[in-house]
Every structure is written in structure tokens, then in C-alpha cells.
A = this chain, B = another copy of it.
């Protein structure tokens, strides 16, 4: 039985990033700047980053990494201490094969992906004892190849998939904080995942469906009411998931509305995906949460309707009829 002590013992660890989108590039860049040994699986940005480095623009100060290890296949990376997974969940059918070459006896797998079902996928393939889950609160977009734009926020909450807190998850949180990623180790993965869904479910879907950013959704009386209604549905379903502590719905919803108001015309990741004709993360953010809610007899009818509308438009966006 491996001990997974490498992360706890080492000051500098070897990290592989699978899914080098905005999130993977941004956190990877901060970890490399802090001295860790980073290895990025790259697709779109491979040439730009391996030849000219990685640039991060941020209100906290721009910086550039001149030398970045970028790869076209996971096999070239080989085993690491930590796999940081930032893959879009619609690519999850590829995830296990992408991660496998990075997994050695002591490798820990951290998924910062959206929604539900990601830890389960990694646990089934590599063993649940390896898996740590994380929730990122990050406003970040990709720019031209080789550049990532950090816009706002950026904190991360981590928890063990199996046991909540642990020395290694607290150590990971410390490494992240040392790399200027505000990070908290938490005792209940389900709770932090569902808390994030309370925001993601209404805003990602409404903004993707309508093509309107968060400020327009909050500025319309009817959609503000709808957002709060969906948030209540998600909180009710969350509070039946045997959380360590229930979510205080009214206070939490007020808090989320408040921070979203401050974000201005924010485009959630799903809205950007739709605008770029990418698939949407419907399985992780809608289908699996709806399934989990149904299993505990806490149906989410407004969420289900939003999911249906995203599905019909998704079918069209990815497979447009002739002449459209």
C-alpha cells in the first residue's frame, strides 16, 4: 500500500497538468513560479509555449515563464508526484488514458474540474486512495496562444475524496498558498462541490443559453427570481447528500448574489464554450447533479428545464441542420 508521502516530505514536487486550459495554465504557472517542477500536456498552445514561454496577465501583476515543459502526449511526461486535472469534463471519456502514464506508486491525483463525477472516474481507474478533489473560484480566460488572462478571484478549496482532511491535503493547501494560490483544506468534498454547484447551475446555464452575461441575468427581475429559485433547488438537493453540515440556504444564496453583482458583466465558462462552439459541460454540471437529486427525492424541476433547453440547443450547436 503506498504511503503518498512524497508530497508531504518534499518542498519541490513534480507536477503534471492534464487539461491545460485557462485554469490548468494559470495554476500551473503559479506553481512553477513558486519553484515546482511543472510539466504541461498541451494541445492548442504547444508550439507557442514551448518556443516562447507562458505569459500570465493578472490584476495581481503580470508575469512570464520563459522556459516551460510542454508535451503533446502524456507518455512523454511520465510519472509525477501530483497530477493536476483541469480538463473540460466533456472530454472525460479521454481522461483516464491521458492520466495513466503520469501515475507512479506515490502519485496523487487532484481534479479541479467542474461539477460532479470526476473524482469517481479517477478513483475507479486508479484507486480512491489517490484522489483529491478541488473546487476553484477563478475568473480566467485564455488569450492568444501562450497567454492566459487572470481576471479575478482564484481561490481553491481542497478535500480528500475518501476521508476529508488528511496530512497530505493540508500539505497541498500549504504548497498552493506558498505559490500565491489562496487555498483551504476542507473536511467535506461533497459539500464544497455542491456549494459551487449552487452558483454554477443557474449562472453557467442561463448565460450559455441566452448569450447574456451575469449582470444581465441579475438585472432582470424575472431571471433574478429564477436564479434564486434554482439555487434553492440545488441547496435542497445538496442538504440531502449527507453533508457534514447543511448549507444555510438563505444566507448562502444572498452571499452568492452579492459576489456575483460585484463581478459585473462576467461570462461563465459555459457561456464562453457556447460562444466558441465548444461542447458544454452538461454531464458534470447538470445530468449527474440531477441524478443525485432524484436519488434522494429532491427533484430540481427548474434545473431540469434549464438542462433540457441546453440539450436541445447543444444538439444544434454541435450538429447544425443544413442551411443554418
Binding site for B on A (CB under 8 A): 206, 209-212, 216-217, 219-220, 222-223, 225-226, 265, 301-302, 305-309, 311-313, 315-316, 321
Contacts and interface: CB of A to CB of B under 8 A. Distances in A.
Contacts of A226: 305, 308-309
Contacts of A313: 210-212
A216 B316 contact: yes
B309 A210 contact: yes
A226 B301 CA distance: 11
A311 B223 contact: yes
B216 A321 contact: yes
A114 B199 CA distance: 37
Given A212-B312, A223-B309, 11 more contacts: A206-B309, A206-B312, A209-B210, A211-B316, A217-B312, A219-B315, A226-B308, A265-B321, A302-B305, A305-B305, A309-B309
A312 B225 contact: no
Question: In the complex this chain forms, how many copies of it are found?
Answer: 2
B312 A222 contact: yes
A303 B25 CA distance: 42
24 contacts: A206-B312, A209-B209, A209-B210, A209-B309, A210-B309, A210-B312, A210-B313, A210-B316, A212-B312, A212-B316, A216-B315, A216-B316, A216-B321, A220-B308, A222-B307, A222-B311, A222-B312, A223-B308, A223-B309, A226-B305, A226-B308, A301-B302, A302-B305, A305-B305
A201 to B, nearest CB: 14
Contacts of A223: 308-309, 311-312
Contact of A308 (B212, B225, B265, B308): B225
B220 A312 contact: yes
The DSSP consensus for interface residues of chain A is helix
A302 to B, nearest CB: 6
A216 B305 contact: no
A308 B210 CA distance: 11
A235 B225 CA distance: 25
Contacts of A220: 308, 311-312, 315
Nearest to A302: B305
Contacts of A209: 209-210, 309
Contacts of A315: 216, 219-220
A206 B312 CA distance: 10
A227 to B, nearest CB: 10
Contacts of A311: 220, 222-223
A181 to B, nearest CB: 32
Contacts of A301: 301-302
Nearest to A313: B210
Nearest to A215: B321
A38 to B, nearest CB: 36
A309 to B, nearest CB: 7
A261 to B, nearest CB: 16
